[in-house]
């Protein structure tokens, strides 16, 4: 079946099931795009910006983009000012970390729903030595600075007079780094495969790394996903018991950091099981600075992109997750017991007990959630799974044996609070060939990526049954340049409305989708920088994406997050100038000062008239 056949079949089914007008969709064949001058169907009222690549950021007319927190900014009252020529690990532990990704706005006080005062919780995914340091000689102190720049920041912020300000004296402010004490819980806690010389109990680990996207819980905690953890571990000899496990995750294949030179725990030859203690979802209580973060192993070990939660109609909590690798899987976790809206403490271990599932997409539009439970199907001792700890440690292999569908780099997976539908951003997969395309991943050499819509039974919003084992699915967008590739968008797409490589997604109060892109090294190929696009998910404006905000050259746009009143949109601008170096950066955003390198930053976007974002 060709791509055209697959799309035609899905579009035909959508029309039949939903009564959608055939003219509401625009399926392009390569080189035959037809663009609208300006979309009139969309409910989004802003005028689009243009595609392009340069050294600055750009926002739709009528909006302001305030740089709120930059790498190195003090986040506690005794932190020193940032000085790129005199960096120390001690200073970085009290300053905003590098490469900001996921963002959560947590109102102050807890449960208040405030939109002008809260805690900004931000992941710091990785460091870039070439852009961070004037001295390019790798030393123990430089490694320590890198380790301190990883992890997570919690910063109190306030809005007054239309501007946001960090509160460095905030009592909840703190940094979580690659050295912070973290507890291990769930089915892999105390497991033989997590025990090390430093921690023979297998229940405590130092640090969290490669923190990419995440989520928040209904009880006011933050979930931080550890993604590319294999990049930090090297060695010559894989342990026999872990050889298949490490190869499946890529551990030891592509070392990108030199920490093992100074810290044996990152050397597989000296500490063979340390790598198993990374690749989890970490739960952080931002409201209690003395609390110990927890790695929740029941949610599985893989390259976590995000962890979006929803309270199901029966009271259980469902967590949606993507595994950011080519031919990897989409997962969900369903808690065994219900969320308690009255007693916060009763929910603090809710994510330790439940069922992990992986998704199988069928050609006829059905979606099956396959349980990854020890003793069921192929997940038995005969295949190396002796208990549930083995299953979650090797979640990727378990999902393969269960029959999950290999996808085109599943990144963010987010439920729409208005419709109840769930959207999975599949960033790209240039390695997929024609012979292994399938109904849910229909393009070979998929450089543009796509977004799949997963539809739980039961109805819209709170009536949706996210715990159900049988969903349906559909395409929302097949991305890329319609002039250059086969794509699927809403019909009245403008010439600047198309995008490539969807990564993070978020929803505003009206249930409209906001899509952040990460083209990586393909910015020049697509002839535009990364940024933020928005679209309706239903009606005549369905999948008619509009370009709202563009980031500087080399950067990706991450972590879109709305305040409860929809009047501020926080975004993370990660790795501006990537591919250049400290001496000659491709941009000096956001400071544009000769003595300062480019600095990853959080930006607060507001409407100049004080209205809702997108209105």
In a domain, 268, yes or no: no
**Mean predicted confidence (pLDDT) in 121-126:** 98
In a domain, 38, yes or no: yes
**Mean predicted confidence (pLDDT) in 515-524:** 94
> Considering only CA atoms, which of 461, 594, 591 is closest in space to residue 538?
461
Q: pLDDT digits over 206-224, tens only?
A: 999 999 999 999 999 999 9
How many C-beta neighbours within 10 Å does residue 610 have? 8
Q: Which two tokens stand for residue 241?
A: 């018991």
In this structure, are residues 455 and 463 in contact, taking their beta carbons and an 8 Å threshold? no
Q: How confident is the model at residue 252 (pLDDT cuts 50, 70, 90)?
A: confident
> Considering only CA atoms, which of 396, 398, 367, 370 is closest in space to residue 385?
398
Local structure of residue 381 (DSSP, 8 states): G
Does the pLDDT at position 17 exceed 50?
no
Total length of the chain: 615
pLDDT of the residue at 124: 98
In a domain, 235, yes or no: no
> Considering only CA atoms, which of 103, 187, 234, 79 is closest in space to residue 569?
103
CATH number at residue 288: 2.120.10.30
Q: Which residue has the higher pLDDT, 36 or 542?
A: 542
In a domain, 600, yes or no: yes
pLDDT of the residue at 21: 34
In a domain, 256, yes or no: no
Q: How confident is the model at residue 240 (pLDDT cuts 50, 70, 90)?
A: confident
Give every CB contact of residue 17 below 8 A, 6+ residues apart in sequence.
none
Q: How confident is the model at residue 580 (pLDDT cuts 50, 70, 90)?
A: very high
Q: Which two tokens stand for residue 1?
A: 């079946």
pLDDT of the residue at 37: 54
> Considering only CA atoms, which of 517, 454, 187 is closest in space to residue 310?
454
DSSP string, 433-445: -GGG-BTTB--TT
Backbone angles phi and psi of 400, in degrees to 5: -60, -50
> Considering only CA atoms, which of 523, 543, 513 is closest in space to residue 587?
523
What gap in Å lies between CA 606 and CA 615, rounded to an integer? 11
Question: Which residue's structure tokens are 């007319």?
Answer: 61
Does the pLDDT at position 16 exceed 50?
no
In a domain, 255, yes or no: no
In this structure, are residues 565 and 115 in contact, taking their beta carbons and an 8 Å threshold? yes
How many C-beta neighbours within 10 Å does residue 329 have? 27
**Total-model pTM:** 0.96
**Mean predicted confidence (pLDDT) in 574-584:** 97
| Cα–Cα distances in angstroms (integers) from residue 306 to residues 178, 227, 299, 534, in the given order | 19, 9, 11, 20
Lowest mean pLDDT among 249-253, 272-276, 305-309: 249-253
pLDDT of the residue at 22: 37
In a domain, 249, yes or no: no
Local structure of residue 5 (DSSP, 8 states): H
What gap in Å lies between CA 465 and CA 455, rounded to an integer? 9
Residue 21 is part of which domain span?
Answer: 3-227+279-607
Q: How confident is the model at residue 27 (pLDDT cuts 50, 70, 90)?
A: low
**Domain count within the chain:** 1
Does the pLDDT at position 38 exceed 60?
no
Q: How confident is the model at residue 443 (pLDDT cuts 50, 70, 90)?
A: very high
pLDDT of the residue at 25: 61
Does the pLDDT at position 386 exceed 50?
yes
pLDDT of the residue at 237: 84
pLDDT of the residue at 34: 54
In this structure, are residues 379 and 371 in contact, taking their beta carbons and an 8 Å threshold? no
């Amino acid at each position: 079946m060709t791509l055209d056949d697959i799309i035609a079949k899905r579009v035909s089914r959508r029309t039949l099931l939903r009564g959608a007008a055939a003219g509401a969709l625009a399926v392009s064949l390569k080189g035959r795009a037809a663009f609208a001058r300006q979309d009139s169907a969309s409910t989004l009222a802003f005028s689009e910006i243009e595609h392009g690549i340069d050294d600055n950021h750009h926002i739709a007319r009528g909006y302001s983009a305030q740089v709120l927190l930059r790498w190195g900014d003090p986040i506690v009252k005794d932190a020193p000012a940032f000085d790129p020529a005199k960096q120390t690990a001690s200073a970085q532990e009290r300053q905003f970390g590098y490469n900001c990704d996921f963002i959560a706005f947590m109102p102050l006080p807890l449960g208040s729903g405030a939109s002008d005062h809260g805690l900004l919780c931000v992941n710091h995914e990785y460091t870039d030595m070439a852009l961070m340091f004037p001295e390019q000689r790798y030393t123990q102190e430089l490694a320590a600075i890198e380790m301190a720049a990883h992890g997570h920041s919690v910063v109190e912020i306030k809005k007054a007079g239309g501007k946001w300000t960090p509160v460095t004296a905030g009592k909840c402010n703190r940094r979580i780094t690659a050295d912070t004490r973290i507890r291990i819980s769930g089915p892999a806690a105390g497991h033989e495969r997590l025990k090390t010389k430093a921690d023979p109990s297998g229940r405590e680990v130092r640090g969290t790394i490669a923190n990419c996207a995440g989520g928040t819980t209904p009880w006011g905690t933050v979930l931080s996903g550890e993604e590319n953890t294999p990049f930090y571990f090297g060695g010559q000899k894989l342990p026999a018991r872990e050889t298949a496990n490490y190869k499946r995750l890529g551990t030891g294949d592509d070392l990108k950091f030199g920490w093992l030179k100074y810290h044996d725990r990152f050397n597989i030859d000296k500490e063979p099981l340390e790598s198993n203690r990374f690749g989890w979802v970490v739960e952080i209580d931002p409201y209690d600075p003395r609390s110990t973060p927890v790695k929740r192993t029941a949610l599985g070990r893989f390259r976590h992109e995000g962890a979006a939660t929803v309270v199901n109609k029966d009271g259980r909590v469902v967590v949606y997750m993507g595994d950011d690798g080519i031919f990897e899987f989409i997962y969900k976790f369903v808690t065994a017991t219900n969320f308690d809206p009255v007693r916060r403490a009763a929910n603090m271990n809710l994510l330790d007990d439940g069922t992990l599932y992986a998704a199988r997409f069928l050609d006829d539009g059905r979606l099956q959630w396959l349980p990854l439970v020890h003793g069921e199907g192929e997940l038995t001792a005969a295949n190396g799974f002796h208990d549930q700890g083995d299953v979650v440690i090797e979640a990727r292999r378990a999902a393969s044996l269960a029959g999950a569908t290999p996808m085109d780099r599943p990144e963010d997976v987010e439920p729409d609070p208005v419709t109840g539908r769930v959207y999975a951003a599949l960033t790209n997969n240039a390695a997929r060939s024609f012979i292994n395309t399938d109904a849910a991943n229909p393009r070979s050499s998929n450089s543009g990526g796509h977004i799949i819509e997963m539809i739980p039974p039961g109805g819209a919003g709170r009536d949706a049954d996210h715990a159900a084992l049988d969903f349906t699915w559909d395409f929302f967008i097949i991305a890329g340049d319609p002039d250059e590739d086969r794509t699927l968008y809403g019909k009245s797409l403008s010439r600047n409305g198309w995008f490539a490589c969807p990564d993070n997604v978020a929803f505003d109060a009206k249930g409209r989708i906001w899509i952040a892109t990460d083209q990586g090294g393909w910015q020049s190929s697509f002839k535009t920088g990364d940024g933020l696009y928005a679209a309706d998910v239903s009606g005549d404006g369905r999948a008619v994406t509009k370009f709202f905000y563009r980031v500087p050259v080399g950067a990706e746009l991450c972590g879109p997050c709305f305040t409860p009143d929809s009047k501020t949109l926080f975004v993370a601008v990660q790795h501006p100038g990537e591919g250049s170096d400290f001496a000659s950066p491709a941009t000096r955003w956001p400071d544009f000062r000769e003595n300062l390198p480019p600095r990853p930053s959080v930006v607060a976007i507001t409407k100049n008239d004080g209205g809702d974002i997108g209105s």
